[in-house]
Amino acid sequence: MAKQMNKNLTKEQKDILFKKGTEAPFSGQYVNHNKAGMYTCVNCGAKLFSSSSKFESKEPGLAGWPSFAEVAKSDAVELKDDSSLGVHRVEVLCKNCGAHLGHLFEGVKDHPSGVHYCINSACLGFKPDK
């Protein structure tokens, strides 16, 4: 459970961050977003993913959300086993505030590293490089 809640969040953001919702594919503002900078947790502002690790996914079921191959720093996120849909997935949470961000998939073909952080746009903020 999140330790703190930012009061400026929309209802959709709260549903995703705190009730583990998922935004509709291709609906988020950061899906086709290619500016250089740092993606942050929209709830607490913690740095999560650098734009340099963002890639465009064409993998069925994973395309349509912002995709990252690695976290900005090793302790940026917390990973948790998730069997909520009857299949095993790995949930990605903000390490700092505990908010739900998305899921981690490994061994996928859409990035050379095989690592795919599938993150909801609604959970992210963005700080452009100066």
Q: Which is nearer to Zn ion, 48 or 57 (CB)?
A: 48
Tell whether residue 13 is a contact of Zn ion (CB under 5 A).
Answer: no
Per-residue x/- marks for Zn ion, 21-50, CB under 5 A?
--------------------x-xx-x----
Q: What is the dihedral of CA 100, 102, 106, 107, to 10 degrees?
A: 170
Query: How far apart (Å, rounded) are the C-alpha atoms in residues 103 and 117?
Result: 6
Asked about 97 being catalytic, the answer comes back as: no
Q: Locate all alpha helices (DSSP H) within the chain, ordered by sequence.
A: 11-19
Residue 24: DSSP 8-state: P
Taking the complex as a whole, the smallest distance from the CB of residue 76 to Zn ion amounts, in Å, to 9
Binding site for Zn ion (CB under 5 A): 41, 43-44, 46, 94, 96-97, 99
